[in-house]
Amino acid sequence: MSVHPAASFSRAPALPFAEWPRLEKGWVWLCGAGPGDPGLLTLHALNALRQADVIVHDALVNEDILDWAPQAQRIAAGKRGGKPSAKQADICDTLIALARKGLRVLRLKGGDPFTFGRGAEEARALMAAQVPLQVVPGITSGIGGLAYAGIPLTERGDNQAVTFVTGHDATGGPAASVNWPALAKLSGTIVVYMGMKHAGPISRALITGGRAPDEIVSIVMSATTSAQRVIVSRLDRIEADILAAGLEPPALLVIGKGVLIPGQAAPRVTLHPFSIAAE
């Protein structure tokens, strides 16, 4: 069993979707839904939404997107740190059982399914169960979400490297297998997913590793949604500023030069959608 790319066209097929790939009975499409704004969904994901019999979706998937599939049964299989949620093994078993019933299954995950989304585990489980599978990438929050916050991750001549890292591991603790001091020694921007709970220990480890205590950290909450908030803090104040601003997950920490207005240490809130002209 192999994973098929959904996109196998040499030229763009006509809209709206008559010639697009079929989500066949008994198949699972493992799709990214993007960071929140429905406009950031891919056309392949929209095509799958229109055909699905059942959608197994994450807590991070915007409800408005699910409303585009009124014909489909919805199964919430969200995993949110600290809150009761479906076990990963149960999610995999559910996907396999639905596919074996002959349903067209859309597994819709926030952002990109293979970026800190446990999509790899689901793909492996489906392949082991001989369930045919297509993977549709999505816009990950650590790229598309940050663009809505006005944060370019690279800039010629200034910022040539980006690291994406998770702030907690499978146990829910700070990501023990990440060598934070070594990461600190790389020159580029660090984007931390799932870093809110352990923002203090992470920032202290980065300072120990050599990052300046006054280095800018942007915190972007609920990027691309109407609840989007952005604050700009410093490495040594990040915990206090998160608390003072009342920020909650989902949020990304961006450490380093990847901010549009460097040097601004006071917390700053931008409105959605971000507009450069408004600055």
Q: Summarize as ranges the residues that interact with ligand SAH (CB under 6 A).
A: 35-36, 60, 109-112, 115-117, 140-141, 145, 193-194, 220-224, 249-252
Q: Which residue's CB atom is positioned nearest to ligand SAH?
A: 111
In the bound complex, what is the minimum distance in angstroms from residue 71's beta carbon to ligand SAH? 26
In the bound complex, what is the minimum distance in angstroms from residue 10's beta carbon to ligand SAH? 28
Q: Which is nearer to ligand SAH, 1 or 170 (CB)?
A: 170
* Phi and psi, residue 42, nearest 5°: -80, 160
User: Which tokens hold the place of 56?
Assistant: 């197994």
* Phi and psi, residue 8, nearest 5°: -130, 30
Contact 30, 107 (CB under 8 A): yes
Q: Residue 213 to residues 160, 164, 205, 235, 266: CA-CA distances in angstroms?
A: 21, 20, 11, 5, 15
Q: Which is nearer to ligand SAH, 48 or 103 (CB)?
A: 48
- Is 236 among the residues known to form the active site? no
DSSP state of 19: T
In the bound complex, what is the minimum distance in angstroms from residue 16's beta carbon to ligand SAH? 27
Q: Could you tell me which residues come within 8 angstroms of residue 110 by beta carbon, excluding any fewer than 6 positions away?
A: 32, 33, 34, 35, 36, 58, 59, 60, 61, 117, 138, 141, 250
Q: Which is nearer to ligand SAH, 250 or 256 (CB)?
A: 250
Q: Could you tell me which residues come within 8 angstroms of residue 217 by beta carbon, excluding any fewer than 6 positions away?
A: 203, 232, 233, 234, 235, 238, 253, 254, 255
Q: Which is nearer to ligand SAH, 58 or 215 (CB)?
A: 58
Q: Which is nearer to ligand SAH, 37 or 215 (CB)?
A: 37
* Phi and psi, residue 43, nearest 5°: -65, -35
Tell me which of 37, 109, 112, 194 is the catalytic residue. 194
In the bound complex, what is the minimum distance in angstroms from residue 100's beta carbon to ligand SAH? 26
User: Which tokens hold the place of 139?
Assistant: 């816009």
In the bound complex, what is the minimum distance in angstroms from residue 62's beta carbon to ligand SAH? 9
In the bound complex, what is the minimum distance in angstroms from residue 3's beta carbon to ligand SAH? 17
- Is 58 among the residues known to form the active site? yes
Q: Which is nearer to ligand SAH, 26 or 163 (CB)?
A: 163
Per-residue three-class SS string for 225-261:
CCCCEEEEEEHHHHHHHHHHHCCCCCEEEEECCCCCC
Q: CA triplet 124, 176, 80: central angle to 5 degrees?
A: 60
- Is 221 among the residues known to form the active site? no
Tell me which of 53, 79, 169, 197 is the catalytic residue. 79
Contact 199, 229 (CB under 8 A): no
Tell me which of 58, 109, 112, 257 is the catalytic residue. 58
Strand partners, 4: 134
Residues with catalytic function: 58, 79, 194
